[in-house]
Amino acid sequence: MSVKKEHALELFPRDIEALVAEVGLPSFAQKQVLDWIYNKQVDSVDAMTNISKEKRQLLAERLFFRRSKSIKTQKASDGTIKKLLAWDDGSKQTETVMIPAKGRRTACVSSQVGCPVGCTFCASGIGGLEGNLQVGQIIEQVIALGGRDITNIVFMGMGEPFANYSEVTRAIRILNAPWGMGIGARKITVSTVGLPAAIDKFATFDIPVTLALSLHAPNDSLRKELIPWAKFAPIEDILKACNNYFTATGREITLEYLLLGGINDKTSQAKELVGLCKTLRCNVNLIRYNEVPELEYVRPKTEQVRRFQETLTKAGVNTHIRASRGRDISAACGQLKREHVQITTG
């Protein structure tokens, strides 16, 4: 009877301990196998040269290492690398991005195939949701972008992380663990569109990573126009949950605000945003829109972005304008996948 294979990048020490005992390896082999999987990041049991050939064969019958194939890679002049990964039979595809900056190499990973949220300005949700990514698929993205060279993780790729809560939190454990990828909690950020119940649950998670809220509008009426899921929770409820997260973890909330030219970049809207910020321990990341050819939104003018920032700063709100990266490639989230689908389907 054949044994169902497990993805090696989903295994915890207790799983390896059981596997080592099952194939008849000595207990110290647990550390060896963990080292091969997460530190050396091999893609085959054959590479585990300090394990006998006979035992490697037994392990090969129980483990697989990769589900993805990189079908397209783009590299921008600023060093940003974007990969389109095809999973299993190739019918499902996700993007993942490596962003280099000042000694950091940040992996922007996807949590779902497509996205259920349907933000009107985003290419990720144009085709809807095709499924959740599993733990090993999330870790695999980090390895595809450089593995041990990666210093920071942001769950800001395709999908809503809290709509795949169990897999995302298990992946965070592996990313953070010293036996896993060894990335500090303060260097891991989870970005959500704002699901109060999920945020409250996340406040009890024992690894205090950074929480980022994709706000994108200073009031409920505009937010509902931009983000269909905004109808499920008013901003007041979301910020209350974010306050709970700060109280539980001591981690300041990052408010992500995507500036869309002529839509949400007015000075009056910046003043509204100040009012929201005064209710929360937070900082604000202003993000200039990267255009998607199929959508009508435009990138805001530089002077308007600066005026928006000045309004926030003068009111005492800690505000940064995120540097636009990868502008000479398919920079917008979901854009590379969308372009590939259009080319391959004619």
Residue position matching structure tokens 């499924």: 131
pLDDT given for residue 324 in this prediction: 75
Query: pLDDT by residue (tens digit) across 97-126?
Result: 999 988 899 999 999 999 999 999 998 878
Average pLDDT over residues 288-300: 90
User: CA 228 to CA 251: how far, in whole Å?
Assistant: 28
pLDDT given for residue 181 in this prediction: 96
Percent of the chain with pLDDT strictly greater than 70? 93
Average pLDDT over residues 216-227: 97
pLDDT given for residue 345 in this prediction: 38
What's the token pair of residue 252?
């300041």
Three-state secondary structure call for residue 321: strand
Q: Are strands 6-7 and 63-64 parallel, antiparallel or unpaired?
A: parallel
Percent of the chain with pLDDT strictly greater than 90? 85
Query: pLDDT by residue (tens digit) across 162-200?
Result: 999 999 999 999 999 999 999 999 999 999 999 999 999
- Identity of the amino acid at 6: E
What's the token pair of residue 267?
């000075």
pLDDT given for residue 326 in this prediction: 62
Confidence of residue 341 (pLDDT cuts 50, 70, 90): very low
User: CA 65 to CA 37: how far, in whole Å?
Assistant: 8
Residue ranges, comma separated, of all CATH 1.10.150.530 domains in the chain are 6-64
User: CA 97 to CA 83: how far, in whole Å?
Assistant: 6
**Terminal CA-CA length for the chain:** 44
Average pLDDT over residues 200-222: 97
Average pLDDT over residues 21-42: 96
Output the average pLDDT for the chain: 92
pLDDT given for residue 328 in this prediction: 62
Angle at 268 between CA 290 and CA 275, to 5 degrees: 100
Residue 153 β-bridge partners? 107, 188
Confidence of residue 343 (pLDDT cuts 50, 70, 90): very low
Long-range contacts of range 219-225, CB-CB < 8 Å, 24 or more positions apart?
Answer: 219/272, 222/263, 222/264, 222/269, 225/120
Average pLDDT over residues 300-318: 97
Angle at 63 between CA 58 and CA 64, to 5 degrees: 135
Give yes or no for a contact between 223 and 230, defined as CB atoms under 8 angstroms apart.
yes
Active site residues: 95, 333
Query: pLDDT by residue (tens digit) across 45-67?
Result: 999 999 999 999 999 999 999 99
Angle at 188 between CA 215 and CA 292, to 5 degrees: 45
What's the token pair of residue 127?
């085709």
User: CA 47 to CA 13: how far, in whole Å?
Assistant: 20
**How many residues belong to the chain?**
346
**256 sits in which H/E element:** strand 253-259
Average pLDDT over residues 294-321: 95
pLDDT given for residue 329 in this prediction: 59
Average pLDDT over residues 71-78: 92
Query: How far from chain centre, in Å, is Cα 234?
Result: 24
Identify the CATH class of 68-345: alpha beta
Identify the CATH class of 6-64: mainly alpha
Average pLDDT over residues 315-322: 96
Higher pLDDT: 173 or 296? It is 173
158 Ramachandran zone, left/alpha/beta (phi>0; psi -120 to 50): beta
Confidence of residue 342 (pLDDT cuts 50, 70, 90): very low
Residue ranges, comma separated, of all CATH 3.20.20.70 domains in the chain are 68-345
Kindly calculate the radius of gyration of the chain based on its CA atoms and give it in whole angstroms.
21
Angle at 69 between CA 128 and CA 131, to 5 degrees: 25
pLDDT over 70 (residue 96): yes
pLDDT given for residue 323 in this prediction: 81
